[in-house]
Structure formats: C-alpha cells, structure tokens
Structure 1
Amino acid sequence: MGKVILLSLFIFSTNLYAAQTAKQQKIDELVEVMNMDAMVDSMYGQVESMMKNMSAQMGVKPDEKAIFDKYYADMTEVLKTKMSWQKMQPMMINLYDKQFTSQEISDMLAFYKTESGQAILKKMPQVMQASMQMSQALVQDAMPEIQAIAGELGEALKRSRSEAN
C-alpha cells in the first residue's frame, strides 16, 4: 500500500514538474517574442525625456547645466544598474508564471506572433511614454490642491494633538 502511494506521488510530481517546465518554456518564449529586453531599454529613453522636462521645470540655467548633467548621469547609471534587464528578467518570468495560466501564456504567444501583436509591441513604449507625460501633467495640475489639503491635514492634526494634551 505504501509503495502504491509513493509511486502515485512520484508520478504526480513528475507530471507537475513537466507541466511547470512546459509553462516556463512558454513564458521564456513569450518574453523573447515580446522583446521585453528592448522594452526595458526604451524605458531609459523615457527617463531621459522626463529628465529633460525636469531640467526645464527646475529652471536649470545654462551655467548650471554641467551640474545637472552630472547628477543626471549618476541617476541614469543607478537606474541602469538597479533596473537592468538581467535583474528584471527572473522577476518578470515569476510574475507571468503567477498571474497567467499555461493556456493564457499560449494565447498571448499566438497573438504576439501575429502582425497586429507585433505592431502593438512596437507601439506600446510610445503609448506608455505619452500616458506617463499625460499623468505627470494631470498630477502637476492637481498639486496645488493636494498641497492645500495636506496643509489642512497638518493643521487639523496639530489642533487634535493640542486638544489631546
């Protein structure tokens, strides 16, 4: 009886391992088809664009440009080191493994291999960059109100604390 249970567990775990390995292979292929490494590289271009906007927003003067450029280069180096594709890849694979079934991965693979799927992948970095810029503009527009509310909160907390004492 014990041998039957042990054999059943072995067969089950072997089948589970094979299914997991097949799913991992599909995820690896999906990562390749989606050119995720290139997407990470395009992220650096988006950061560069944001940094140029930051320079203008901070009012960096021409004689201060060298100072700004040095800090910009340092920040870029940190991002490229801490957010490299080499570091992100295992996390992305794990994320896809946890979030999507094997069938969903297969369906994504089939779609992204199509002409439309490839067009979406090529255009997505520009869509993401434009959406980030729109979000930044909306946040900037809301910032005075947010700061006013934060100030009111600070005052309300001061009053509450002074009444408690």
Structure 2
Amino acid sequence: MPKLPSITARALLRLLLALALVASAPTFAAEPTDADIDRLLKASRAESLLAGVVPQMEAVQQQEFDKHFAGREMTDEQKAEVARIQAKTQEIVRTALSWEEMRPVYLDVYKKTYTREDVRAITKFYESAAGQRMLDKNPALMQNIMSAVQQKMVPMLEALQAEIRNIPVTPPPPVSPPQKRRRTR
C-alpha cells in the first residue's frame, strides 16, 4: 500500500482558508453601478412597463369602487365625494408608481440582488435582437400562459365544487330558548 503524504496542520489551514475564500467569492463580487443598472433598465424597458401598470391599477381601483358602491342610493353630494376620493386615490397611485419614485427602488433592489457581472450579462442579452424579441413577445406570452392556466384550473375548480356540493349538510340541533332562572331569596 503506497504511503500517503502527511498533511501538516499549516497545509490544512491553507486549504481551508482557500476554500473559505472561494465559497465567499460572491460576497466580494463587485456591486453594479447606477449607470450599469440604468442601462439594464433602459434595455429591459422597465420604465415603460411600469407606466403600463398604472392604468391597470386604476382599472382595478375603479372596479373596487364600483363594487363597493353598487346598488347604493347616493345623493349628488355623496357621488361628488366618492369621485373626489377616487381621483385622489388615482393620483396617489400615479405618484407612488412614477418613475421618479420607483427608479431608486429599482436601483436598490438590483444592487441587492445582482452583481455587476450579472447586470452586464443581462443587459447584453436585452440589448440583443433575441432579448428585444423576447420583450416584444412577453405580453402575448403572458396572455397565453394565463389562458392555459385558466383552461387547466376550470376543470379542477368544477370538480372541487362538485365535491363541496356532495358534502352532507346536517342542520344544527334546535336551540331551545334559555330558561328563566328562579330567584331564590
């Protein structure tokens, strides 16, 4: 049996230190600069995608207002107050989701999530013809995914509803009125 070289404590310590440095390499990776992230955000059309969210949010708010006040009789004064609140709510959403408000959030989150190398590689992809085609086709992709999910979910929900309908429901036992207490003196 061949004799294995002995590992000294010093050599073992060096090996462990080298492994620790390799394992912690992502910690030492360069943080992306604001310019790196801005280039990525431009290439990925982040600002226009964010701007597209605002009308969707406003539509959801409108539905919620309509649902909340459906069938309620309101005076002209009350209707005006609801309209004022609606307009104020929309303005709050527009301000909160404005690029001026959201850009610092994007910068912070991207810095916490990606290294400079990651950001540059992702940017390179989005700036490529394939990346731009992907961005062009993403809305259709998402619509197709939603349709596929709905087609998959409808039969499952119908089966679940049928199962719920088959649960035997027994009425609760009748509750007798409380008995009067006799006063004892």
Q: TM-score, normalised by structure 1?
A: 0.53
Q: What does 1:61-72 correspond to in 2, within 5 Å?
A: 66-72=80-86
Q: What does 1:39-54 correspond to in 2, within 5 Å?
A: 39-54=49-64
Paired position in structure 1 for 2:132: 118
More relative contact order, 1 or 2 (CA 8 Å, 6+ apart)? 1
Work out whether 1:90 is the aligned partner of 2:104: yes
SS of the aligned residue for 2:70 comes to coil
Which of these residues, 20, 29, 43, is aligned with residue 39 of structure 2? 29
- The structure with the largest alpha-carbon Rg is 2
Q: Please report how far the alpha carbon of residue 109 of structure 1 lies from its aligned counterpart in structure 2 after TM superposition.
A: 0.7
CA distance in 2, matches of 1:89, 1:102: 18
Q: What does 1:140-155 correspond to in 2, within 5 Å?
A: none
Q: One-letter code of the match for 2:59?
A: S
- Could you list the per-position Cα deviations for residues 72-110 of structure 1 after superposition, in whole angstroms to 9, with x for gaps in the alignment? 211011122233211211121121111111221122112
Q: Name the one with the larger helix percent.
A: 1
CA distance in 2, matches of 1:116, 1:66: 50
Q: One-letter code of the match for 1:104?
A: D
Q: TM-score, normalised by structure 2?
A: 0.48
Gaps of 5+ in 2: 1-29, 158-185
Paired position in structure 2 for 1:103: 117
Q: One-letter code of the match for 1:84?
A: S
Percent of pairs with identical residues: 22
Kindly indicate whether the alpha-carbon contact (under 8 Å) linking 1:27 and 1:96 is maintained by their aligned counterparts in 2.
yes
Gaps of 5+ in 1: 1-18, 142-165
